[in-house]
Structure formats: structure tokens, C-alpha cells
Amino acid sequence: MTIEEVGEFLGVPVNLKDQDSFHLSIEEYLQALISLVEELSRLAVNSVTLGDYSRPLQISKFVSDLHAGFQLLNLKNDSLRKRSDGIKYSVKKVEDVVYDLSLRNLVPKPKPAAAAAGDERMSG
């Protein structure tokens, strides 16, 4: 979700610079994204514990994309910069989970498109 979508969902204005009223700032939005990455890394581990081996793959792609986005930013805010530097540890944690799954041959194999279409024709 973009900051605008979050603001609309919460019914809160976003990134006001010319008014002194309650709003969602870009720094708060970025801090929330960092917290999301940290929580998703925990979810990847817990998913495997519960036998869901495909979720860590989805999480890995998402957190890697977010990490790439944060690397494009030139952050000057000390706490935000320090926390964004920590994203790499969450990304590594998720990558380690995916690596362990692949070593144990637990990574779900995607169905080839032709085989999936053939399965549908046979069943219908």
C-alpha cells in the first residue's frame, strides 16, 4: 500500500507540511514498513513450523523488493536510517529459511503451464 492508500484507509491526511494537525508523515510510513519487514521475517519462520513451505518464498520476494526500495533512499533521519540498515538482517533471516527449505527439498515446485492446462482438460 502506498502512503496515500494507508491515509485513505485510516481516514488520516498524509505528509502535511503546511499545517499543524494530526497526519501520517513519510517517516512514520517508512518506519511502519520496516516493522512490517521485521514481522514478516518472523512469519516466515513460523510458517515453516506450521508446515506452510510456500509462504516463506512469497515473503522472501516481498521483503527483498522492499529492501531494494530502501536502498534507493538517501535517509538522513538517524533512527530511520539505523532501522532501515537493519532490514538486511531480516532479509537474510528469510533467505536462510528459504535456503534451508531448498536443502531439504521442501520448496514447492510450480506446475508447468502446459501440465496444469492438461490436468484441467482431463478432470472436466
Domains parsed from the chain with CATH numbers: 3-108 (1.20.58.200)
Q: Using alpha carbons only, what angle is made at residue 76 by residues 59 and 73, rounded to the nearest 5 degrees?
A: 40
* pLDDT score recorded for residue 119: 55
Amino acid of residue 35: S
Number of H helices, E strands in the chain: 6, 0
Q: How far is Cα 54 from Cα 43, in angstroms, rounded to an integer? A: 12
Residue 43's pLDDT is 97
User: What is the full DSSP assignment across 63-84?
Assistant: HHHHHHHHHT-----HHHHHHH
Spell out the per-residue pLDDT of the chain, length 124, in tens.
888 998 998 898 888 888 888 888 888 999 999 999 999 999 999 999 999 999 999 999 999 999 999 999 888 878 889 899 899 999 999 999 999 999 999 887 776 765 555 555 555 4
CB 87 within 8 A of CB 67: yes
- In sequence order, the 6+-apart residues with CB closer than 8 A to the CB of 44 are 55, 56, 59, 60, 93, 94, 97, 98
CB 58 within 8 A of CB 37: no
**Cβ(40)–Cβ(59) below 8 Å:** yes
The reported pLDDT for the residue numbered 76 is 83
Q: Which residues contact 38 (CB under 8 A, 6 or more apart)?
A: 86, 90
